[in-house]
Structure 1
Amino acid sequence: MDLQTKQITLLKLIQEIQGYAIFLLDENGNVETWNAGAQKIKGYLADEIIGKNISIFYTQVDLAKNLPQTLLAEAAKNGTAYNESWRVRKDGSTFWGAVTIMAMYNEEGKVYGFAKITRDLTEKMLSELTIKQHAENLEIKNKEIEQFVYIASHDLQEPLHTISNFAYFLKTEYAHKLDDTAQMYLEFMLQATGRMKGLITNLLDYSRIGAEKTLSEVDCNLLIAGVVANLDSTIKENGATIRYQNLPVIEAYEIELAQLFQNLLSNAIKFRDKNFAPIVEITASKEGNDWRFNVIDNGIGINPKFAEKVFLIFQRLHGRNDYEGNGIGLAHCKKIVELHGGKISVKANPVSGCTFTFTIPLNPDKPR
């Protein structure tokens, strides 16, 4: 097949392409050829458009900015020009066009025309706009919820504080006038208000997670050393051993990550096997695009059917008489891990205890 035959074959193929508008322009931007894709996207038949200037495809806004001539001048100077904006069809409707204009030069290096390729990206652009709008709406809703939680919690604190104070005054100042039953009732009231205060504080802490996201390089060895120091009295009281070494330096939200490890270590110590001193081991490894952390304990373990329930806010698997707490610590952990773009899970160990596993992406998303 000689060169001329190949060129004719190529031109025929271009004429039949329907996904792209591909056509030639003269040096002034007037249409010289027209393919099936151009007809499909723009709506003109060949004999209706050949000889017309490309300005016919542009909106009044773009014409006021002299965009057609600007793109031709850019292509003539640089070889190509690219632009995305609204384009006008024959029937007056618009579509979002991705346009590439390539200059054609003669042997003397002078521009004698242009090749223009247009693709209709309306559906893609609208999908992206919908996703963006949904994300913006979700962010607004989240802020409204956080504000509601803060206001509601603040308003609850005042009457709760009043009830707690007066119950305490009754218990202390009128102790000699109250029988044992009345004293017991007041003790129940004080315990209940104390738990309620704790719930409100925990709820506020939960709503604030990720409020000020600042990514930084975090040495997990130093971070956990600080967490262990914070838990020193709890660790000594329970005779616990915390093991970790050779942990990575990762990109993370340092304050939230410290809270995550503190909650997991506190949880491991609290749900200890009464027959053994708590031992908790922290390991990390790189898997694909994530850091995978394991927090392994020798505690009471977990029933597999509750492996997901434990991460729900205010969910408790044990009575208050057995283990203290409001059932929010692991919900904090889940929210912090998801803030980084990772996942968290728990499973029972073969012999005793359980393993909490969570991932942190190598490159967490920057806050928007």
Structure 2
Amino acid sequence: MKEVTINTMTYNETGNSEQNSEAFYEQFIGAIDIPFYTLNAEGKLTFYNEAAADLWGRSPLLGNDLWNNEFELLNPDGTMLEIAASPVAVCFRERRPVTGQEVIIVRPDGSRRHVISHPQPLFDNDGKLKGIVNLLEDVTAIRQAEKKIREYDQHYNTMMNSVEKKIEERTRELLRRIEEQEKNEERFHRMVEEVEDYAIILLDKDGLIQNWNRGAEKIKGYTEQEIIGKSFEIFYSEEDRKNKVPQTLIRKAATEGKATTEGWRIRKDGSRFWGSIVITALHDSKGALIGFTKVTRDLTERKIADDKLKSYSAELEFRNTELEQFTYVASHDMKEPVRKIQLYASHLKSSPHNQLDQRSSDFLDRLMKAAVRMNNLIEDLLAYSRTTSVEENFVPVDLNEIITEAAASYKEEFLQKEVAFVAGSLPMINGIPFQIKQLVDNLINNALKYSDPTRKPIIKISGKIVSEQSVPNVPHAGNDKYVLISFCDNGIGFEQEYADKIFGVFQRLEVSSETTGSGIGLAICKKIVQNHNGYIWAYGEKNNGARFDIYLPVLKVKES
């Protein structure tokens, strides 16, 4: 009986193994959630799995397409990567493995994926290069998570203004059938031997370990001699074994075909790592269970990053809640003494028994005006504290109706100042009606307040549907549509350098001593827009008007 040993797995070449070989390797590879492909010596694709096709965003033609057809490669910093400097090109040219080089793949739809490439050259017995097998590790989710964490840390250190949601993306499954059995068996076993970032283990029906690759030794710490023949339960904590977690997973895989989980696992030295595990049942040609494959990824760094992000998010939410409660209570308690000031001042002013000289009467008028300004400020502060986003309050909102109502409420002011008001047709959005009304009202009021006294005011409101890619200064992760609403006026304007400052609470540009306001109106506008998952930008030119661009998600019509 002749034995063939590949990696650390030994198989007897018998008639039975020949019958089951194709099914066995097909199922074995089908359990691996790893994009990989093979090339011949000419650089043409001879095999790729569905995970690779999903990663590329296309399905190349085998035997015809070169590995670099229709691909644009970038360096991790986003700069162009010359084909000659790519991992596969280096592997071809220098006839050596290229391990761990990260590149960015630009897919046909323009989206980008961060991958770590592990090309390995394949040689025949004469040392002649036969081709290349390449394993791709999709680290897009990790890079995006790292970017989010860096952004969050920056925001946290500057009053924790926002927290980006964690980005997590699971790799896809289902591998294609191996077409040429002998060649693909050799390629597959060489691939498994070189993988170091995934623990790929074969278990028998009872969960006993049958093989051990380099990735398993790197992640778990055991050598092949130490672990072969032992139960995979050794990787689980005492508590997990007591709760029968390993048995539950293997039973689920046997009955449902696959079991996936994440959790803390134990290395040989007793240290813990956060593993992402996929256990898949293997069957013979008659459907009988013959064992399991177990693929483990070490995601400890991602777990630590996720936990840190959750902690920051919870702390920020708690502080924001405290701030809103404090603002509401403080503003509410300040209204009573202001009302008394107004009442007593009014009584002093109107009482016939009080003989006030001109100076005292002037001081009393100033006091009453100051009390009115204080009351307005408190009301604005209360409005700002109540401007929250509650998903249950979102309903379809007709922007045209909102703008018509708002314009009607300013009829007297429009007539008095001879305002030219023009509003175009706008689509429906999903929003909180009273907040959208407040948003429109504040922007019209802002245009009136900062109108140029030397010319007749013009207020124009226009709108159109734009793609997500048209929204400036924000990351684009999808193909959603937005309605762009532009509020334009020919007022006194402002210097563009103050475009961000005007959205702050109590921020007012010193343009005129006669211009009144609390400095909260535009802050409320920004908060309302953020509540609706939108964006607002201000553009201005001194003495030449201002424009406010608002991007709000378009109402999605449900298909019947």
- Are 1:62 and 2:254 matched, yes or no? no
Say which is worse superposed, 44-53 or 252-261, in terms of deviation.
252-261
Residue aligning to 2:434: 255
**In structure 2, distance between residues paired with 1:268 and 1:86:** 58
CA distance in 1, matches of 2:390, 2:302: 32
Q: Is the 8 A contact 2:495 2:542 kept in 1?
A: no
8 Å contact 2:276–2:296 — kept in the other structure?
yes
User: Could you say which residue in structure 1 is the equivalent of 2:397?
Assistant: 218
Q: Using a 3 Å threshold, how does the CA distance of structure 1 residues 145 and 174 change in structure 2: closer, same or farther?
A: farther
Work out the number of aligned pairs and report it: 364
Of 409, 423, 438, 1:230 maps to 409
Is the aligned partner of 1:49 residue 2:241?
no
The alpha-carbon distance between structure 1 residues 230 and 128, as it changes in their structure 2 partners (threshold 3 A), is farther
Paired with 1:114 and 1:315, the residues of 2 have a C-alpha distance of 64
Aligned-partner residue type, residue 506 of structure 2:
F
Higher alpha-carbon deviation: 177-186 or 2-11:
2-11
Cα offset, 1:320, TM superposition: 6.4
Partner amino acid for 1:13?
Answer: M
Q: Distance in 1 between matches of 2:457 and 2:267?
A: 72
CA contact (8 A) 2:495 2:541 kept: no
Residue 293 in structure 1 maps to residue 485 in structure 2: yes
* 2:492–2:542 contact (8 Å) kept in structure 1: no
TM-score by length of 1: 0.90
In structure 2, C-alpha distance between the alignment counterparts of 1:326 and 1:153, rounded to whole Å = 14
Question: Structure 2 regions of 5+ residues with no counterpart?
Answer: 1-123, 125-179, 469-481
Higher helix share: 1
Correspondent of 2:372 among 186, 189, 194: 194
Amino acid at match of 1:251: N
CA contact 1:312–1:331 (8 Å) conserved in 2 = yes
CA distance in 1, matches of 2:385, 2:421: 29
**1:7 & 1:65 partners in 2: Cα distance?**
39
Number of the residue aligned with 1:284: 463
Letter in 2 for 1:266: N
Work out the CA distance in 1 between the residues paired with 2:183 and 2:501. Answer: 70
Shift of the 163–239 alpha-carbon distance from structure 1 to 2, 3 Å rule, reads same
Residue identity opposite 1:316 in structure 2: R
Q: What is the rounded CA distance, in whole Å, between the counterparts of 2:405 and 2:282 in structure 1?
A: 66
Residues 198-237 of structure 1 show CA distances to partners (whole Å, capped at 9, x for unaligned) of: 1111111111111545322222112212222333333333
Question: Who is 1:92 aligned against?
Answer: 270
| Corresponding position of 2:540 | 348
What pairs up with 1:1-368 in 2 under 5 angstroms? 3-4=181-182, 6-173=184-351, 176-210=354-388, 212-213=390-391, 214-289=393-468, 290-318=482-510, 321-348=513-540, 352-362=544-554
Do 1:349 and 1:355's aligned partners in 2 also have CA atoms closer than 8 Å?
A: no
Please tell me whether the aligned partners of residues 423 and 460 of structure 2 are also in contact (alpha carbons under 8 angstroms).
yes
CA deviations 1:49-70 (Å, max 9, x no partner) are: 1111111112234323322222
How far off is 1:48 after superposition?
Answer: 1.2
- Equivalent residue of 2:372, what SS? helix
Could you tell me the percent identity over the aligned residues?
A: 38
Contact 1:239 1:278 (8 Å CA) reproduced: yes
Q: Does the Cα contact within 8 Å between 2:397 and 2:431 map onto a contact in 1?
A: yes
Report the alpha carbon displacement of residue 275 of structure 1 after superposing the two structures with TM: 4.0
Is contact 1:209-1:335 (8 Å) kept? yes
1:96-134 Cα offsets, whole Å, 9 max, x none, are 211111211112211111111001112212212221221
Query: What is the TM-score with the length of structure 2 in the denominator?
Result: 0.61
- Relative contact order higher in (CA < 8 Å, ≥ 6 apart): 1
